[in-house]
Amino acid sequence: MKRIGMLTSGGDCQALNAAMRGVVKTLVHSKEDVEIYGFLDGYRGLIYGKFRMLTGADFSGILTKGGTILGTSRTPFKTIQDPDENGLNKVEAMKQTYHKLQLDCLVILGGNGTHKTANLLRQEGLNVVTLPKTIDNDLWGTDMTFGFQSAVNIATEAIDCIHTTAASHGRVFIVEVMGHKVGWLTLNAGMASGADIILLPEIPYDIDKVIDKIEERDRNGSRFTIIAVAEGAISKKDAKLSKKELKEKLKDRKYPSVSYEIAAKIQEKTGREVRVTVPGHMQRGGSPCPYDRVFASRLGSKAGELILKGDYGYMVGYRNREIVKVPLDEVAGKLKMVDPDSSIVKEAKLLGISFGD
């Protein structure tokens, strides 16, 4: 008998259910006796012992379902070792829940912060296998994360829809895409939708360079400009500030986000009409696209295989078109950033896309 705990942590995204289904179907298909304990709302469920027993029936019909049947929450790694409001040691509580239920393994689905905590639990002696979930595609050790392609599809469609109204009215449109620290989603959605300007956290922009591109398009007879802006896009001026100085500046920012600040500066300097669209959490929602359904199923199947072999302490990743196991301590705490000198950025520039640099 294998007793498996399972939880989803951090922001939700498409294909979480597909990935869990892949794990469970692999275990059940092996004919091994298995008990599945689903912890509710991420690490909170593990901390406070909130779970429900799951059967194969719980994973039937969820391949196409977005979100997560277990619920999720954010439990920041930086406070995971701080006592809760009642003085409870959260790490010790998670270990106690694990041992009380006599679990053989924890399957943890999540992004960067989730993997830091998963690696901590591994260091504390728990058997852990993780799956790379994030629409940001920013996890170290894997070429792709599930949820990313579905989010790219949604962000791309949003920008596609903006094209028609921007062209009709001859306006500058800014579409703000999710991504506070990393710009993979904005880069891919921007290229896929034919954005004229793409602003990323990794490539600080000069507002005058942005305006130069808009005016160049005007001179060439284009009545409109589409700008894809990552949530974490930053100006060259702000990029020179220390973290403390930037935090203080952002605290006093009069705009809802960087996109509105950019819009105001473009209007001020050019007199052009600028509109901002923010798809927001739409990018996390809905059914997973076919790519993510297949990809998450493959990752889940590999995780199930590792569990059956008793091969723990790994994230199941994707490298060079193959599903692989990656040591958790190589993954935790690292972000996969967009390299400003990467081939994809260079190719985008050859297409005439401006990054404001």
Contact of 63 with 292, CB cutoff 8 Å? no
CA–CA distance, 230 with 198 (Å, rounded to integer): 8
Which residue, among 228, 110, 252, 236, has the nearest Cα to 178 in the 3D structure? Answer: 228
Contact of 231 with 177, CB cutoff 8 Å? yes
Known catalytic residues? 136
Contact of 228 with 198, CB cutoff 8 Å? yes
CA–CA distance, 310 with 32 (Å, rounded to integer): 13
Q: Which residues contact 101 (CB under 8 A, 6 or more apart)?
A: 3, 5, 37, 51
CA–CA distance, 219 with 142 (Å, rounded to integer): 43
Strand partners, 275: 173
Strand partners, 174: 227, 276
Which residue, among 273, 258, 158, 257, has the nearest Cα to 225 in the 3D structure? Answer: 273
Q: Could you tell me the two tokens for 98?
A: 């694990």
